[in-house]
Amino acid sequence: MSRVKTLQSLFKRYRRPGDIVFAWVFLIGAVFLLSEIFDQTAYKPRGKLAAQPRFWPAVSLGAMTLFAAFHLLGSALSERIDGRWHEVLHWLKSIEYAGWFIAYAAVVPYAGYLPTTIIFAVLLALRSGYRSAKMLGAAAVSSFVVVVLFKTLLKVNLPAGRVYEVLPDGVRQIMLTYF
């Protein structure tokens, strides 16, 4: 026996518990960006509308704001889903890793690329729940390989750490060049 699908069932969307919070945050962000369009872009007199530096950013931000408002409206008119704040807390937990990256970028100029990369790789492995010496060793070795790959083979110019200044001349030159 075949089931007849209605338009409502065909276009029913799956909603997450934090959908309304996401819709509000997205709409507020879109309105803020749209409000800054006159300060952040220029207007050139006697130019065609589509060639104005402000035109396409304004079109995209206007569309972003409109669709964010539709998203908020659709979320507000839908049934309430339990677990909203649990979902939002789950989103906020991911910000921790941005903090790890910011801390890493702040430490590299002082401690150097090699030591910082190894230390943060091991710390992140510990943070992820890996406790065995084998896994922590793998994190250290893989970060060492990444440093050698970037500095030696790819010749990526990365900042040297201030800690390298206290090393003896020969060792310092090797560390600056290859690590």
Over the stretch 14-67, which tens digit does the pLDDT of each residue have?
A: 667 788 889 999 999 999 999 999 998 888 888 788 878 889 999 999 999 999
| 133 CB neighbour count, 10 Å cutoff | 8
pTM: predicted TM-score of the whole model, two decimal places: 0.62
CA distances to 91, 122, 134 from 137, in Å: 30, 8, 5
CA–CA dist 162, 112 (Å, integer):
7
Q: 74-119, pLDDT tens digit by residue?
A: 888 878 778 888 888 888 888 999 999 999 999 999 998 899 999 9
What is d(CA 21, CA 116) in angstroms, rounded to the nearest whole number? Answer: 37
